[in-house]
Amino acid sequence: MLEVLFYGLSLAVGAGISLQAGVNAALARIVGITESTLVSVSVTWVCIVLLLAVGFRSGNMSQVGAAPPYLLIGGFFGAAILLTASRVVPVIGVAGYVGALIAGQLLASVALDHVGAFGHPRYPLDATRAAGVVLLLLGMKLVLR
C-alpha cells in the first residue's frame, strides 16, 4: 500500500516539474533567466525552512561534514534544471523539455540502478527494463514530433 502512495506522490511531483518549467520560463521573460532561478530557489529555501521550523525532520544536519564531498552536488543539478528550463521551454515547449528531461532521467537512473550507485540496491538491467526504456524513448519521439 505504501508503494502505491509513493508512486502517486512521484506522479504528482512529476506533474509539478512540468508546472515549474512553464512558470519559471514565464517568470524569466519578465525578470531574466538567472533571476527567475534565484526566485525559485529562494522559495524552495523558504519551504524547507518552514518544514524544519514545524518539526518535520528526519536526520541530523550536523553530520553533513561527514558526507563525502561528491554527495553535495545535488544542488548543482537542481540549479541546472531550473536554468535550463527557463532558457529551453520558450524554444521547444514544456513537453519537449520535460520529455527530454524524463528520457535523460530514465537513462541515467537505469544505469545507476544497474551498478547500485551511491550504495543503493542493485536493480540489474534486464530485457524488460530495456524494453521499458525503448518504449519511453519511442513515446518521447511521438510526443515531440
For CA atoms 76, 79, 81, 83, the dihedral sign is: negative
Question: H or E element: which one contains 16?
Answer: helix 2-31
Q: What is the pLDDT along the chain (145 residues), one digit of tens a residue?
A: 888 999 898 889 888 888 899 999 999 999 999 999 999 999 999 999 999 999 998 888 899 999 999 998 988 998 999 899 999 999 999 988 988 898 899 999 999 999 999 999 999 999 999 999 999 889 888 887 7
User: Cell 522559495 identifies what position?
Assistant: 43
In the prediction, which pLDDT does 109 show? 93
User: Do 96 and 144 touch, CB atoms closer than 8 A?
Assistant: yes
How many whole angstroms separate alpha carbon 88 and alpha carbon 31?
16
Amino acid at 24: N
- Residue 95, C-beta contacts closer than 8 angstroms, at least 6 positions apart: 143, 144
In the prediction, which pLDDT does 99 show? 87
20-41 burial code (b ≥16 CB/10 A, e <16): bbbbbbebbeeeebeebbebbe
User: Cell 523558504 identifies what position?
Assistant: 46
How many whole angstroms separate alpha carbon 33 and alpha carbon 38?
9
pTM exceeds 0.85, yes or no: no
In the prediction, which pLDDT does 5 show? 92
In the prediction, which pLDDT does 115 show? 96
In the prediction, which pLDDT does 143 show? 82
